[in-house]
Amino acid sequence: QKEVEQDPGPLSVPEGAIVSLNCTYSNSAFQYFMWYRQYSRKGPELLMYTYSSGNKEDGRFTAQVDKSSKYISLFIRDSQPSDSATYLCAMSETGGFKTIFGAGTRLFVKA
């Protein structure tokens, strides 16, 4: 079993839809939870991060962490064609130097 599981998609939605992306994990020591966005032929770029449990909002993006269920989510409101990319969840332990990534979910937002 992988430490981090993420549905690879692809996920196709119409413009303006609310998108929900999710990851589950097995290591209860993870404390840092990140979401990266990766456009085709580019390196990943950090989109959101949260420490421990809770929600964090930044513009159209909301990150949620439920440590009791070992489940994290990224919501994108009013999705745009420019949001079309691969979204990778990532996690690390406090004081740790390793970051574990999910496989990434490919998202297509149709105009």
Partner 1 sequence: EAQVTQNPRYLITVTGKKLTVTCSQNMNHEYMSWYRQDPGLGLRQIYYSMNVEVTDKGDVPEGYKVSRKEKRNFPLILESPSPNQTSLYFCASRSGTSKETQYFGPGTRLLVL
Q: CB under 8 A: which stretch of 9-17, 36-44, 54-62, 72-80 binds partner 1?
A: 36-44
Among 74, 104, 107, 109, interactor with partner 1 by CB under 8 A? 104
Q: CB under 8 A: which stretch of 9-17, 41-49, 52-60, 70-78 binds partner 1?
A: 41-49
Pick the closer one to partner 1 by CB: 18 or 29. 29
Among 13, 49, 61, 75, interactor with partner 1 by CB under 8 A? 49
- Between CA 92 and CA 76 the distance in angstroms is 23
Among 19, 85, 88, 107, interactor with partner 1 by CB under 8 A? 88
Q: Does 41 bind partner 1 (CB under 8 A)?
A: yes
C-alpha R_g of the chain: 13
Closest by CA to 44, choosing from 94, 74, 88, 97, is: 88
Q: Does 47 bind partner 1 (CB under 8 A)?
A: no
83-110 per-residue burial string, b: 16 or more CB within 10 A, e: under 16:
bbbbbbbbbbeeeeeeebbbbbbbbebe
Quickly count: other Cβ atoms within 10 Å of residue 46's Cβ: 10
